[in-house]
Amino acid sequence: MLMQGPAARRENHTVRVNADWVVVGGGLAGVCAAITAARAGLQVVLIQDRPVLGGNASSEVRLWVLGATAHMYNNNRWAREG
């Protein structure tokens, strides 16, 4: 598949980084692992594919407070008020 538009103009850059520990994923567990390793004195690299940290707990992800079915039967008020 040929890419068109802005995606076709992207360039891949190679960056070489020396690290003792690499954490892939900036969710809650990944951030905690990176912080723990850094506090232990390791050089840590955290790789994240989203613009914010926190994974599904971040404000970027829109999850209902009361679960996936909270929007059914017009119960949005309960999801908002929790």
Single pTM value for the model: 0.59
Do 30 and 24 meet the contact criterion of CB atoms below 8 Å apart? Answer: yes
What is residue 2's predicted lDDT score, i.e. its pLDDT? Answer: 56
What is residue 71's predicted lDDT score, i.e. its pLDDT? Answer: 53
DSSP state of 3: -
Q: Which amino acid is at 22?
A: V
Domain ranges in the chain are: 19-81
Q: For residues 49-79, b (16+ Cβ closer than 10 Å) or e, as one string?
A: eeeebbbeeeeeeeebeeeeebeeeeeeeee
In the predicted model, residues of the chain with pLDDT beneath 50 are 1, 82
